[in-house]
Amino acid sequence: MLEIIQIPVLSDNYIYLVHEPVSGKTAAIDPAEAGPVMEVLQKKGWQLDYIYNTHHHADHVGGNRQLKLKTGCQIIAARADQHRIPDIDIQVKHGDRIKLGEECLEIIATPGHTLGHIVYYCANSPLFCGDTLFSMGCGRLFEGSAQQMWESLQQLKALPTAIKIYCAHEYTQANGRFALTLEAENLDLQARIKEVELLRRQNRATIPSTIGLELKTNPFFRENSPSIRHAIAVNTDAPAVTAFACIRQMKDKFH
């Protein structure tokens, strides 16, 4: 069983420090900064073996070089991002599997937010999904198309409902406010928003979520919901990706 430590950094980022206790192997996922990671490593007495990057944005790779210099760790990232993430030691692609000690993680390509975005999926529970999937949201389409992001999310929707999702930002409260404009009568959504508001008042994280919870509350997983189709004025017989694109455009303009 992986031990996962969530490290809040910058204004709303999360770095994940993931430790496999049998082997003692440790990975940092999307280290925006090196300092907070080094502090936790020293406190826990762990050695950093790997960095796992989901994509090339600075708030996900900013600590890479310093951590590699300090620890000698290896950087694992998408082959498609080799020209944008410096010093990659192990290039991976969709369908590859990597080992963290006794645990195995599968690489799933999820283009949309960026063209080279990947996620790391462990069948024993965690999904480290970077900026592809958020609690009640998904990433902006900075490089990819709505079709690409929709197809990426279909892969994640199909995972077991108990899978915990560890995304890279604390966006849940704002995402919930938008979701409520589309499905005000959704009781699961209402309950989740109340839970999120309580957690944030206590300055606690709303992550991880689960695939099952997102299927009930995330409008980007619910583009075929009749109430959402009505709210966005998209016919129920229109393709799912059309509804998805409309939701994404509305979210981009939501404040």
Ordered mean pLDDT values, 10 residues apiece, the chain (255 residues):
96 98 98 98 98 98 98 98 96 98 97 98 93 98 98 98 98 98 97 98 97 98 97 95 98 92
Domain ranges of the chain: 3-253
Amino acid 143: pLDDT = 97
Burial class (CB within 10 angstroms; exposed 0-12, middle 13-18, buried 19+) of 146: middle
Phi-psi category of 184—alpha, beta or left, where left has phi over 0 and alpha has psi -120 to 50? alpha
pLDDT of residue 125: 86
Distance CA 52, CA 95 (A): 16
Residue 87, classed as helix, strand or coil, is: coil
The pTM of the full predicted model, rounded to 2 decimals, is 0.96
Superfamily of domain 3-253: Ribonuclease Z/Hydroxyacylglutathione hydrolase-like (3.60.15.10)
The residue assigned the tokens 């498609």 is 80
